[in-house]
Amino acid sequence: MANPSKKTHKDTSAGSIARSAGSVGVAVFMSRILGLVREQVLAGLFGAGTAMDAFVVAFRIPNLLRDLFAEGALSAAFVTVFTEYDQERSREETWRLVNNVFTTITIILSLVVAAGMIFSHQLVMLLAPEFAEIAGKVELTKELTVIMFPFLVMISLSALLMGILNTRGHFFIPAMASTCFNIGSIVVGGGLALVLPRFGYPAITGMAIGTLAGGAGQMAIQLPLLFRHGFRFRPVLDLRDKGLLKIGRLVVPAIIGLSATQINIFINTNFASRCAEGSVAWLNYAFRLMQFPIGLFGVALSVATLPVIARQASRKDLPALRKTLVSSLIMGFALTVPAAAGLWIMARPVVALIFQHGRFTAADTMMTAQAVQFYSIGLLAYAAVKIVVPVFYALDDTRWPVFASFCAVAANICIILLALERLQHRAIALSTSLTMIMNFLLLATVLYRKLSGYDLSRLLLAFLKIVAASTVMAWVVYNVCQVFPAAESISGQILRIAAGIISGALCYAILVFILRLEEASDAASAIAGRLLKQFFRK
């Protein structure tokens, strides 16, 4: 029986989901801008050579586990159970569950971190065996791995904090947490990278230490808001707690499924290490650039939608859940399809403007831009999967995401083997996109049957309108960019890119209005409104 003292949460319409997504989108926008600054610092200081390859692989090792334990399985499972407790249990029971989860996760992940540091050499050789062919590369990667491994604990706890605050209706501050990560990485990491060589340490070590500082900041910024809701950390370790066990039942199969995604990343890194020197770094820079629209659109919509879907699933309100799902997918399509088209056309000038400084050469720009183009093919599916998968968690079904993930592994290996010799590092980006599209189509089909259908005709009609508008927009952007020839100066590059973005955005906005695509208008208005509100805030 529901606790009568609990605050009743209203179901969220497409418009209010868009407003919540807009709030997250603004914070993610700021974070991604600083993330690109962070990548600029790395590119300027280290280019795409040995040090950068070592840093990418070293950071990828704890980051793989972060995706596995924190922002993937654990976060979705925790939000589902926390929402149930928040709706139906007392305040004391809810906070006890939170403390129990925090204590248990901290102990488990601390053991994982210790094991990772001890076996860091073996992990590096497993992920990038070709590094052994270059003197000192394995040793450097191992040292950076040991430094950055504790990042796993900080970021996992940060994801739990974000889940609690999102459920309580707070989106902006939790989404701003990653901004703190980037600030810590830039300020602490960049500063140490300039200082440490004077004491005989590699400059890239400073960026590794900066990663830890950023992780601590990402967790710390969320604590004051949580304390305002009455949370106080009191260690509780009760492995028989029903809430903890339910989270475990959701997490274990989900981790198995997400492990397939991490296997894919491992496979991609392994294949990339066999390509030309710098391939690991080119792919990393390209995917970092891709994370801008993925975070701004896919993550924002996913974060805004998950608490709503969790409440609707808890009440068995399937009609409302179907409507929320379709609205969220249309908003995702409306934002990612034009973004993908724009990235394909302007990949090279954007990469040149952001990264081609210091030791990052014109050849690095060309290789990175090609990877961006192939990654952009799957941008729509990246965002859509982030919306669809949490629905399975809310419905207490993790089997199909697991199955889809392992199908993606098999498909990824096949595609890379077929295309690697011809496309080199581009084959890995292409395979990543194609397997993500296959993953989304499979999950969307299963969910259609699981929910006894959803408004597929509305979804497909909206998708066709979006594709049509994006095609016209792409033609306009291409021709506008031809008017502004490639320039060597920063101001010339900015002018060319700005002209393409502004003309494309105006064209797309007009077409969306003409085609009467309601969800796109909601999403655009929400994000624009939040941006203006933040800009003019005193």
DSSP one-letter string for 163-188: HHHHHTT--HHHHHHHHHHHHHIIII
Helix axes 379-394, 399-423, angle to 10 degrees: 160
Query: By three-state DSSP, how is residue 307 classified?
Result: helix
Tell me, what's the pLDDT at 2?
Answer: 42
Closest CA to 380 of 421, 319, 335: 335
Tell me, what's the pLDDT at 306?
Answer: 67
Helix and strand totals (H; E) in the chain: 22, 0
DSSP one-letter string for 271-298: HHTTSSTTHHHHHHHHHHHHHHHIIIII
Closest CA to 152 of 228, 220, 82, 70: 70
CA distance 322 to 448: 9
CA distance 433 to 40: 25
Closest CA to 153 of 205, 107, 189: 107
DSSP one-letter string for 129-172: GGGGGSTTHHHHHHHHHHHHTTHHHHHHHHHHHHHHHHHTT--H
Query: By three-state DSSP, how is residue 484 classified?
Result: coil
CA distance 50 to 40: 17
Tell me, what's the pLDDT at 256?
Answer: 67
CA distance 216 to 393: 28
CA distance 249 to 217: 31
Tell me, what's the pLDDT at 5?
Answer: 40
Cα 498 to Cα 42, 491, 495: the distances in Å are 24, 10, 5
Cα 327 to Cα 9, 83, 128, 470: the distances in Å are 19, 22, 42, 19
219, two tokens: 């967790």
Which residues, including other chains, have CB under 8 Å from residue 277's CB and lie 6 or more apart? 49, 50, 53
Cα dihedral 95, 221, 308, 255 in deg (nearest 10):
-80
Nearest-5° Cα angle at 286, 285 to 291:
95
| Cβ atoms of 522 and 331 closer than 8 Å | yes
CA distance 135 to 243: 50
| Cβ atoms of 86 and 171 closer than 8 Å | no
CA distance 193 to 210: 9
Tell me, what's the pLDDT at 70?
Answer: 55
pTM: 0.67
Residue with tokens 């967790």: 219
In residues, how long is the chain? 538
Closest CA to 365 of 286, 435, 273: 286
Tell me, what's the pLDDT at 9?
Answer: 41
| Cβ atoms of 235 and 186 closer than 8 Å | no
Cα 136 to Cα 46, 118, 141, 356: the distances in Å are 16, 19, 9, 26
CA distance 149 to 56: 13
Closest CA to 56 of 118, 148, 184: 148
Closest CA to 21 of 352, 297, 374: 297
3-state secondary structure 418-454: HHHHHHCHHHHHHHHHHHHHHHHHHHHHHHHHHCCCC
**φ, ψ at 169 (rounded to 5°):** 90, 10
* 46 Ramachandran zone, left/alpha/beta (phi>0; psi -120 to 50): alpha
Q: What is the pLDDT along the chain (538 residues), one digit of tens a residue?
A: 444 444 444 444 555 555 555 566 666 677 777 877 887 788 778 877 788 888 988 888 787 777 666 555 677 678 778 878 877 888 888 888 889 988 998 998 899 999 999 999 998 888 888 888 888 888 999 999 999 999 888 888 888 888 788 777 777 778 788 788 889 889 999 899 999 999 888 999 999 999 999 989 888 888 888 888 877 888 888 888 888 888 888 777 666 666 666 677 778 878 887 888 788 888 888 888 887 777 666 666 666 676 777 778 777 788 888 888 888 888 889 888 999 999 999 999 889 888 887 778 888 899 999 999 999 999 999 888 888 887 887 787 778 887 888 888 899 999 999 998 888 899 999 999 999 999 999 999 999 998 888 889 989 999 999 999 999 999 999 998 888 766 667 778 888 888 988 999 899 989 988 888 766 655 555 555 544 454 444 3
